[in-house]
Amino acid sequence: MLLDVVKVKTQPDYQLDLEFANGEQRRFDMRPLLAVKPWNRISSLHLFEHARVEYGTVVWPGEIDIAPETLYDDSVVLSTR
């Protein structure tokens, strides 16, 4: 199931609060990925905080992104509409 991300908010502990097109709000922990390429390039909180939504997923400066399927499948539910 492919669900677009429609909103992202970064947390100071390198987690992403996400809202998906189906209305679900979920939290994704980026910490395990920050030690691996290409995400190691956003391991400073200053860069991590520049997350934005483009084309249904989360993107950072330098066009670093992550698949929306990964964000959905590996996140925990915060709430549903």
Is the pLDDT reported for residue 81 higher than 80? no
Residue 2's Cβ-side half-sphere holds a number of Cα atoms within 13 Å equal to 4
Task: Identify the band that residue 51 occupies on the pLDDT scale cut at 50, 70 and 90.
Answer: very high
Q: Is the dihedral of CA 54, 52, 14, 29 positive or negative?
A: negative
Q: What is the pTM of this model?
A: 0.91
pLDDT tens sequence across 7-16: 999 999 999 9
DSSP code of 51? -
The label of the residue with tokens 């509409």 reads 81
- Averaged pLDDT of the chain: 93
Amino acid making up residue 69:
E
Interacting residues of 60 by C-beta distance below 8 A, sequence separation 6+: 41, 42, 47, 48, 50, 51, 52
Domains and their CATH numbers in the chain: 5-79 (3.30.2020.10)
What is the pLDDT averaged over residues 39-62? 95
